[in-house]
């Protein structure tokens, strides 16, 4: 299954709504979108994962790379609306302790 990434500007933030599986085949598309936002030094990057059913290690690496990029200029990346399976992957990898994760997009924009 492929991936669909929709970009939306919300104030000074950029929101990426992701749909599909974030895996070795599809993560380069998300990586490109996130890299562009990091290069633009967007103060807040929100990744809405409500439409994501599966994420593998390459998907996690993509998000970690964006997190590291935002930390270089005091930006922030916030993940929101993770389903229980995807949240479980983050918890298993202990990544829920380094990412800001919210239940809703609204909370992510305010976090």
* CATH number of the domain enclosing 75: 3.30.750.24
Number of domains in the chain: 1
Q: Which domain holds residue 10?
A: 3-110
As a three-state string, the secondary structure of the chain is: CCEEEEEEEECCEEEEEEEEEECCCCHHHHHHHHHHHHHCCCCEEEEEEEEEEEECHHHHHHHHHHHHHHHCCCCEEEEECCCHHHHHHHHHCCHHHCCEEECCHHHHHHC
The pLDDT tens digits for 55-111 are 999 999 999 999 999 999 999 999 999 999 999 999 999 999 999 999 999 999 998
Strands of 3-10's sheet in order across: 3-10, 13-22, 44-55, 76-80, 100-102
Quote the tokens at residue 62.
Answer: 């993509």
Which pLDDT does position 111 carry in this prediction?
87
pTM of the prediction? 0.95
Instruction: Note whether 65 and 31 are within 8 A (CB).
Output: yes
The pLDDT tens digits for 14-38 are 999 999 999 999 999 999 999 999 9
């Amino acid at each position: 299954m492929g991936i669909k990434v929709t970009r939306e500007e919300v104030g000074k933030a950029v929101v990426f709504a992701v749909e599909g599986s974030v895996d070795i085949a599809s993560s380069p598309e998300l990586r490109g979108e996130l890299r562009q936002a990091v290069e633009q030094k967007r103060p807040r990057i929100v990744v809405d994962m409500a439409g994501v059913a599966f994420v593998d290690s390459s998907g996690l690496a993509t998000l970690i790379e964006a997190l590291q990029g935002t930390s270089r200029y005091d930006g922030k990346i916030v993940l929101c609306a993770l389903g229980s399976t995807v949240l479980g992957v983050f918890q298993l990898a202990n990544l829920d302790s380094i990412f800001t994760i919210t239940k809703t997009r609204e909370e992510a924009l305010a976090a």
